[in-house]
Every structure is written in C-alpha cells, then in structure tokens.
Amino acid sequence: MEQKPTTIKEIAKQLNISFSTVSRALHDHPNIGLRTKLRVQQLAKELHYEPNQTAIFFQQRKTFTIGVIIPELAEAFFSTSINGIEDTAEKNKYTVLLGQSHDSEEREKKILETMKQHRVDGVIISISKNTVNYEHFESLKKYGIPVVFFDRIPKMSDIHYVSSNMISGTLQAVSFLIKKGHRVIGMINGPEKLLASQERKEGYQQSMTKSRLKFDPSLVVNSDLSLTGTQLAMEELLSSKRKPTAIVTFNDYVALDAIQYAQKRKRKINKDICFVSFANLPISSYSAYPPLASVEQYPYIQGQKATEILLELMNKNKDETGQKEVYYKIIVESQLVLHEKK
Amino acid sequence: MEQKPTTIKEIAKQLNISFSTVSRALHDHPNIGLRTKLRVQQLAKELHYEPNQTAIFFQQRKTFTIGVIIPELAEAFFSTSINGIEDTAEKNKYTVLLGQSHDSEEREKKILETMKQHRVDGVIISISKNTVNYEHFESLKKYGIPVVFFDRIPKMSDIHYVSSNMISGTLQAVSFLIKKGHRVIGMINGPEKLLASQERKEGYQQSMTKSRLKFDPSLVVNSDLSLTGTQLAMEELLSSKRKPTAIVTFNDYVALDAIQYAQKRKRKINKDICFVSFANLPISSYSAYPPLASVEQYPYIQGQKATEILLELMNKNKDETGQKEVYYKIIVESQLVLHEKK
DNA sequence: TTAAATTATGCAAAGGTTTGCGGAGAAAAC
DNA sequence: GTTTTCTCCGCAAACCTTTGCATAATTTAA
C-alpha cells in the first residue's frame, strides 16, 4: 500500500510541461508565467508533492544539518545548551545531528568522522576532557567544514569559540566570600588542561590579589570531576594547614559531592565551611545543603551564540572565499546567583 | 585552499579505467581483478577518497539516520534513554537526528515534518504529554517510515512500542509501603491521558485489592507534572479526610516538589509522611529527604530496545513486504530500588 | 588450435533536483 | 509589415554513486 512519493517529473508529465518549468514554478522563480505557476502549485498540492531532500542535498552539496558533539547529555549544562542550539538551528531550517563523546577522545574522533561522512554543513563541539590531540579538528578545516567550540575549548589558535567569562565569574564568587568575611578560601578546580580551569584559577588569583590577600597555590586543588576525584581533592583541602572556611568548586555536581564529603568529615555546612560553585543547576535547589551561591553560565545563550556564529560561517563560505579569516571569540558574561535560604 | 573531495570519477580517470570498476573495487565486489582492486584501493587511500554520502543516500533512498523526538532533554530519564538509542544506533552505523517537543503538540508535528523531509529512515518517539491528535504519526506510516514509541505512548492500536511495566512497578511500590505498615496511601499520578498514568493507577488498585484494603479513588490525584500542579495535588491529598501516611508519586521530580511542599506544610518527612516514586534519578541521592524508594525504569535499556526494534523494521521493509505486520510491544520490567539511609 | 567457460571490465541508466542557455512565441517599437 | 524586445518555457548537463547487462579478455577444456 506504500505510495511512492510524488516527484517533479510526475507533475511535469501530468501537466505536459517540462520538469524544469515545474521546478521553477514551485520556487516562485521570476521567469515563469502566472497561469502555469498556479496550475503547477495546484497540482503539487493535490498530489501532496514534497521535494526529495536527499536529492536536493546532493545537488546543492549541502545538508542543512549541523553536528553537535558534547561530552555528556545527562549534565544539565549541556542539555540546556543544546536547547539553545536546537532552537536557533530550527529557526533557520537546520537540523541537529547529535553525538556524545562520554569524555573519550576516541569516541569523539569517531563521531566526528561519521558526521563528516554524513556531510554535515558545520559542527558545534564541546570537547571531551580527555582530548589531548587536536588533529581531528584540523582535518575538518581542510574539508571546509566550519567548527565552533563552546564551553570546553581546546588550546588551539585560529578557532571560533564561545565561552562564558570564567575569570569574572570566579572574581564574583571569591569576592562574595571575601565580603562575607572569609580569608582562607580553597578551590576545587577541574582538570588542569581545560581552559575553563585555567581561567578559574586566574580569577581566583586576581581577586585574592585585589583584596590584598595572599595567594596560596596549595589551596587550589584539582579534581577529575568524578566522585572520588572530588573526595580526594576535599581530603587534601580539609587536611591542609591553613583550614579553608570556604571553598569554590568547579561546578554544582562537584559542590554536592564535596558537601557530602564535608558532612562525612563532621564539618557543619555553612558554619564550619561554605561553598560557592558554578552552573547554578536546578538540582541544587532540592539539595539539603546547596552551595551558598553559584555562577550562572547561561548555557542556553552559549548554545544560541555558537549556532549563530556557525550559521554565519556556513553561509559566508559561498560569497567571499579566500579572504583572511576572522575568528570569533565570544565571551558570555556570567553572573553570581545567590541561593535564597528557605 | 579548500580542496575538492576526491570522487570515484577522479580515481577512474587517473587509473584510466571506468568508474564502475572503481566502485566495485572499493566494495570488494567479487567480479573484480585482484590487481586492479589493489591499484584502486591504493590510489583511493593516497587521494584520501571518501565516498560522498549524500550521493549514496540519494541513490540508495536511505539516509542511515533515525529521528528521535522526546519531550525534554533536561529530564534525566530521557537523556539516559538517548544514550541507549545513540549507542545502539552507532553500532549499526546509524546516526541520530534529535528533536525536543518541549511538550508541545505543535512543535512535535513540526519536528516530525522536518524529519520526514530529511528522509530519516525511521523514528523513535516519546510523545508530548499534551498531544491529543495522532494524525502526524499515521501520516508517517503512509510514507513507509517505521515508528517506535517508548515510555510515553499514544493510545493507538497497531503501533510498535517499548515501555516499562508500570503496573508491576506500582505493585512493588505500594506493596512495599503496605509491608511497612501504611494503610492509607495516596498517589500523585501524571496526566490522565498518559498510558503510564493509567497503568500506575491500575497497579495501585491491584495492590490495594490484593492486600484486602479498600481502594479509595479520592486518594489518587493528578498533577500536570509542573511545580504548581504537584502542589495543588499535594494540597488535595493533605487536606483529605483520610490522612495518607504515604504517597506514591509519578516520578522523582514530582516527589521532590511534593516533599518540599509537605515540609512547608509542617509535615515531618519519613515520620508523618513517606514517599515512594518512579525513575530513580541520581538527583534524589543529593536531596535532603529523598523518597524512601524509587522504581527504576531502566531508560537506557528502553532506548536500546526501541532502537533494536526500529532497526529490524527498517531492514525488514526490503525483503518481505505486504505480509501482515506484527506489532512489537516490549515491556521492560521495572524494579523498586530502596534508597539507603546514610 | 579452437571452442567453451570463466573472469574482469565497461556502458549506460537511474535516482530527483537545480540552473545556464537557447529558442519559440508574443508584445512592442519603428 | 518588419524588426526589436520581452516573456515564458524546454533542453540538457551536473551532482556521485550503484548495478544489471553486455562485452572484452583471459583461462580452461577439448
């Protein structure tokens, strides 16, 4: 019973005109008679004509598809940013091909490979925290597939990216704690390789200097963001000589793990020790002891911006090629959000 | 600088053979001389030949893409099930085109439309809770695009689906509470239209009857799953004449909202009132008062199964067409998981 | 050697669409 | 009435690949 989709040829045959005429009629091409145009559009509707996109993709060397690769969908930050990506893409008639690296470089490569084969028009990517090799990104360039990075950005020059301002975000967070009277402030940072970690450290250092406090590098420890990684980091901080009374954590997940660990170690949350973190996830509003405040990074906007840049890059290609490229480096401001006590 | 991708024609020209030979050489076709095969494969590698998938898609009338539509990526249940889908798809060389309905029927339709245009080979969908009209699903059938539903399933006959066994899940949940001594048990159910809601009610009723307890329909209230919806539902239960000492909620999000509301109303959690819910999300492990237990629905497995069915449907099409169709109705068993006290 | 069987290669069509170019026919200008 | 100018439409190529069928080349059998 499966009906074959109507084609332009079919319409042409029934109307006894050439299929190029049909094509033009359907596209409101100027060189077309009003009469025939209407006849064609009429019949097209009757036969439920729908253009064969695969043919068009092929013909136009374009797929109106963008590939999106992120580490982990389950993390609220990423699923929210995908909302921004998807909405923007949809508005511009693009669809989203999704891939998760699960923080494996190998998977990341493989997904990128598949996407290249699927001839995506562009790629948005937040790299795996374990990715050390950047060749697979370079290779996309050769094929003229534009790439926009966001949030987790590789240390490469000549790339487009959008990220949130971690330096100023950290500044806000640390200043907030200092204003509350804390003098010894620890930091559980993420993997050192990540740009985001470096910026947090930078921001931490800046605000300490600003307030004429000593910057003690031993108070900045790294976690690989896993539960045990965070616990190790906490252990290190809690057993440090200069007992920190407040800790800034890499994100809310780390914060929650850290808080649980602090409780296990008999620290009274918000008395013995306070927490401030990043991401401002809804999860923390349900938590028993949420961090005092969290730096909102506006993932939706980041996704949106990244997509807008990509759209521009994908369309530019046609017109002005060969000009020296300008690289977009968009910084989305972050904002410390206080968690109200209930 | 942008190099044009190598085509089969290019290889053929350089080797002075016909491009059909090249095609066959690259596919290890039996009718091909070993010498030429090697020569071709050698050159293909040198020129970094990569087949133009869009051409192949077009030629084969297949895109190796499956569309996945879910209500909300941010919900852990769905993002986990997508993991199952993506992994299974990837293993079979399929890619995933993603769309979120955000629980809007209109968006759902639109996404489906776009996916149809993109000529996806099949669709996996968990429908929006506000979808009342099912025409857009029917229409896919006409085009021979197989659809597999999961978790949120429309009330249609002749469909393929996978869902978790809510009846037995609810049975486990309620029995658990009864065994703990509760006699008056309330339920905050989801929207009545959802099959999942009906099944929960069914399970609730069954276990009451089984234990020779009276089934009181006024103890089963519905929430639209929003915060206020849940609060309204809670208000109704708390003000009911027969004070329930335990409540089964539609999912963990509802549970957390309900628990917060109960606290606001000065109920002591796990003393005055206990909660059991569905989904078993990691979120609840961070919560101050998580539900006592939660019914794990194995979203990853659901996604996996749905994809496996879809793969089968997509491949069947070719061979045996016209046979009367068999509809898959896969029930994934659910499992009550107790939350340890710490 | 030659005929027969086998193996390797080429030809050409098909899949649906867009688009530059040329030409037919009609309207306008002289 | 002839030429010029438009307006509208058809032809055909191109995008790249796969594949059935025919044919050329080679091997095997007689």
pLDDT in tens, B280-301: 887 777 777 888 999 999 999 9
| Distance between CA atoms of residues A263 and A269, nearest Å | 7
Helix residue ranges, H only, A27-102: 34-46, 53-60, 76-91
What DSSP letter does each residue of A198-215 carry, written as one string? HHHHHHHHHHHHHTT---
Section A57-64 average pLDDT: 92
Spatial distance from the CA of A30 to the C1' of C28 (Å): 21
Question: Which of the nucleotides lies closest to B40 (Cα–C1')?
Answer: C9
Q: What is the pLDDT of residue B1?
A: 40
| Candidate from B64, B80, B287 with C-beta closest to A286 | B287
Closest to B120 (Cα-Cα) out of A59, A65, A124 = A65
Distant-in-sequence, close-in-space partners of A100: CB < 8 Å, separation ≥ 6: A69, A70, A71, A72, A73, A107, A111, B83, B86
The gap from C-alpha A222 to its chain's centroid, in whole angstroms, comes to 22
Question: Which residues face A246 on adjacent strands?
Answer: A185, A274
The confidence score (pLDDT) of residue B319 equals 47
- Residue A319 has what pLDDT? 47
More confident residue, A80 or B319: A80
CATH 3.40.50.2300 residue ranges of chain A are 63-164+299-332, 166-296
* pLDDT beyond 50 at A184: yes
Mean pLDDT over each residue of chain B, to the nearest integer: 90
CA nearest to B299, candidates A81, A225, A126, A73: A73
From chain B, pick out residues whose CB is under 8 angstroms from the CB of A95: 97, 99, 114-115, 118
* Residue ranges near strand C (C-beta within 7 Å): A 4-5, 7-9, 19-20, 23-24, 26-27, 49, 51-52, 55-56, 58-60; B 16-21, 24, 30-37, 55, 58-59, 61
**Interface contacts A/B by beta carbons within 8 Å:** 125
Predicted local confidence at residue B57, as pLDDT:
93
* pLDDT > 90 fraction of chain A, expressed in percent and rounded: 68
| Mean pLDDT value of segment B304-311 | 97
Mean pLDDT for chain A? 90
List of E strands, chain A: 65-70, 95-100, 122-125, 147-150, 160-164, 185-189, 220-222, 246-249, 274-278, 293-296, 329-332, 335-338
Q: Render pLDDT for A224-283 as a digit per residue (tens, 0 to 9).
A: 999 999 999 999 999 999 889 999 999 998 999 999 899 999 999 988 999 999 988 877
Q: CA torsion sign, A239 to A243 to A248 to A254?
A: positive
Please state the CATH superfamily assignment of the domain spanning residues B166-296 in this structure.
Response regulator (3.40.50.2300)
For residue A20, list its beta bridge partners.
none
Q: How far A99 CA lies from chain B's nearest CA (Å)?
A: 8
* A55/chain B closest Cα distance in angstroms: 6
**Residues 6 or more apart whose Cβ sits within 8 Å of residue B115:** A95, B67, B69, B97, B99, B123
Q: Which residues 202-221 of A interface with strand D at a CB distance below 7 A?
A: none
Query: Pick from B5, B63, B74: which is nearest to A143 by CB?
Result: B5
pLDDT tops 70 at residue A211: yes
User: Which residue has the closest alpha carbon to C18 C1'?
Assistant: A59
The proportion of chain B whose per-residue pLDDT surpasses 70, expressed as a percent, equals 96
Question: Which one of A3, A53, A116 has the shortest CB-CB distance to B118?
Answer: A53
Coil/strand/helix, residue B151: coil
Measured from the Cβ of residue B322, the count of other Cβ atoms closer than 10 Å reads 7
CB B150 within 8 A of CB B126: yes
Name the residue among A74, A83, A115 with its Cβ closest to that of B76.
Answer: A74
In angstroms, the CA of A32 and the C1' of C24 are apart by: 15
B33 touches strand D (CB under 7 A): no
Amino acid letter, residue B3:
Q
User: CA A294, CA B150: separation in Å to the nearest integer?
Assistant: 36
Cβ burial, residue B201 (10 Å; 0-12/13-18/19+): buried
Q: What whole-number distance in Å separates Cα of residue B210 and Cα of residue A197?
A: 57
Residue of A117, A121, A265 to mutate, testing the B interface (most B Cβ within 10 Å of its Cβ): A117
> Hey, what CATH topology would domain A63-164+299-332 get?
Rossmann fold (3.40.50)
Q: Is A37 helix (H, G, I), strand (E, B) or coil?
A: helix
**In the numeric block, which tokens belong to residue B26?**
């690259």
How many CB atoms are closer than 10 A to CB B159?
18
Phi then psi for residue B56, to 5 deg, are -65, -45
Maximum Cα–Cα distance across chain B = 90
* Distance (Å) from the alpha carbon of A217 to chain B's nearest alpha carbon: 30
Closest chain A CA to residue B62: A54
